[in-house]
Amino acid sequence: NAGVTQTPKFQVLKTGQSMTLQCAQDMNHEYMSWYRQDPGMGLRLIHYSVGAGITDQGEVPNGYNVSRSTTEDFPLRLLSAAPSQTSVYFCASTSSPGDSPLHFGNGTRLTVT
Taking the complex as a whole, how short is the minimal distance between the CB of residue 14 and another protein, in angstroms? 26
Site stretch for another protein (CB under 8 A), options 18-26, 30-38, 64-72, 76-84: 30-38
Kindly tell me which of 54 and 82 has the beta carbon lying closer to another protein: 54
94-112 per-residue burial string, b: 16 or more CB within 10 A, e: under 16:
beebeeeebbbbebbebeb
Assess 42 for contact with another protein (CB under 8 A). yes
Cβ partners under 8 Å of residue 66, min gap 6 = 34, 46, 47, 49, 55, 74, 75, 76, 77
Total of chain residues touching another protein, rule CB under 8 A: 26
How far apart are alpha carbons 74 and 16 in whole angstroms? 22
Identify which of residues 44 and 86 has a Cβ nearer to another protein in the complex. Answer: 44
**Could you tell me the sign of the dihedral formed by the alpha carbons of 36, 86, 65, 25, in that order?**
negative
- Quick check: helix, strand or coil at residue 83? helix
| By the rule CB under 8 A, 1 interacts with another protein | no
Site string for another protein, 89-108 (x = CB under 8 A): -x------xxxxxxxxxxx-
Footprint on this chain of another protein (rule: CB under 8 A) = 31, 33, 35, 40-45, 48, 50, 56, 58-59, 90, 97-107
